[in-house]
Structure formats: C-alpha cells, structure tokens
Amino acid sequence: MSAASTPDPTGAGPSRREQLLAIAAQQFAEKGFRNTTVRDIADAAGILSGSLYHHFDSKESMVDEILVAFQEELFGQYDAILASGDDARSKLEAAVRVSFEAIDKHPHEVAIFQNDANHLGSFERFGYLADRNAQSRQVWVTLIEEGVRTGVLRADLDVTLTYRFIRDTVWVAVRWYRPGRDLTHTDIADQYVRILLDGIAVEGKNHG
C-alpha cells in the first residue's frame, strides 16, 4: 500500500491526477455523468471519496478536464485535414478515419461526449461544448460543400441532412465498437466510407 501513496519522482508515468481522471472517464462513460457517484470513482481508484477532493475541486471539474483535453486533440486533427491540399473526397475520408481513430483511442471520452454533452451543455460552465459542436458542424459542412462544388458529390444532396447522417453514423459507433476485436477501427472506417460514398445497392440498379 506504500506504493500507492508514493509520488512518481521520475516523471515517467502518468501523474496520480491523470490516473484518477482516466478512472473517472471510464466510470462516466459506463454509467453517465450524473449516474456516476464520487464514491464510484473513489472505489475504482481504491481510495475514499473525500480524498478525491484533494486532487479536484468538484465532480464537474473532472469531466471538464477530460472533455477539454480530448477536444483539443480531435479538433487539432480536423484543422490539419482542412488545411491539407487534398481533394474533397480524400479530405472527407480522412475526417472519417480520424474520427474512428478517436473512438479507438479515446472511447470513454467519446462516449461521455455522446451521452452527456447535451445535459452538461445546459450549464454555463460547459458552454464551450456548444461552440465545439458548431465547430464540428462547420468542418463537415465545409467538406461536403466542397465535394458538391468540385463535382465529387451529388449535387442534389441536402447538405445539412448529409452532415447529420455522417456525424451520427460515425460517432454512434462508440456504442458497439470495442478495441481489439475482429475488426480494427481502420477496417470499420474503410467500410463506412464505402457505404457512405457508394451506398449498399448494386451499382447501376438505381431506382428513379
């Protein structure tokens, strides 16, 4: 038990704070933010609930820290894609792939975002969630519109509806995708991109 109370002087591993955040993220993802008690988190960490308040101000500040860190990483990748000189189809594919990679690397964070962003967003403290949501919409809409303009995507697409279709389809996969099973996130991204772009029907059998 002495190891648990010993700080990490070498700085090699994650700090105790980061360890606790990872544990909290898992709990939040599994049960939702409001349904996770500070005692749940503390139990999972092997300490008492009161001890969490040595590291964090509140339960809210824990999710806050979790979400902000994740979003900064994700949107950094989106920005890089937008700034690249590739054609619209390649950029769209890249954005889908980056998203599935995020599900693979940060499943808890994505799940929290999917399940609790709506509820958390109603508090002033989490107003940035709405901003990030708008930013995400901007990324996808930009890519879709560029695709239509350059003749890569069908001109009769409802851009907003298509945006929702892509967004929902990609992120909702966090509900069933589990790393390390038969299909890798790259496999899934491949097939999703294929369905999204070309549909599931046999080519040339399109109805009018």
Partner DNA sequence: GAGCATACCAAGCAAATGCTTGGTAGGGTG
Partner DNA sequence: CACCCTACCAAGCATTTGCTTGGTATGCTC
Q: Is 207 in the site for a copy of itself (CB under 8 A)?
A: yes
Q: CB 68: neighbour CB atoms within 10 A?
A: 14
Contact region with a copy of itself (CB under 8 A), list: 20-28, 61-69, 99-107, 172-180: 172-180
User: Assign residue 172 a region: left if phi > 0, alpha if psi is -120 to 50, beta otherwise?
Assistant: alpha
Q: Is 4 in the site for DNA (CB under 7 A)?
A: yes
Complex with DNA: residue 33 or 171, whichever CB lies closer = 33
Q: Comparing C-alpha atoms, which of 8, 40, 7, 34 is closest to residue 116?
A: 34
Which amino acid is located at 97 in the chain?
Answer: R
Q: Is 178 in the site for a copy of itself (CB under 8 A)?
A: no
DSSP 135: H
Q: How far is the CB of 55 from DNA (least distance, A)?
A: 6
Which amino acid is located at 198 in the chain?
Answer: D
Contact region with DNA (CB under 7 A), list: 37-45, 103-111, 169-177, 198-206: 37-45
Q: Is 6 in the site for DNA (CB under 7 A)?
A: yes
Q: Is 53 in the site for DNA (CB under 7 A)?
A: yes
CA distance 63 to 58: 9
Backbone angles phi, psi at 158, to 5 degrees: -80, 110
Axis-axis angle for helices 107-120, 159-171 (nearest 10): 130
Residue numbers at the binding site for a copy of itself (CB under 8 A): 31-32, 34-35, 89, 115, 119, 144, 147, 151-154, 157-158, 161-162, 164-165, 168-169, 172-173, 175-176, 183, 188, 191-192, 194-203, 205-208
Residue numbers at the binding site for DNA (CB under 7 A): 2, 4-7, 9, 15-17, 20, 34, 36-39, 42, 46-51, 53-55, 57-60
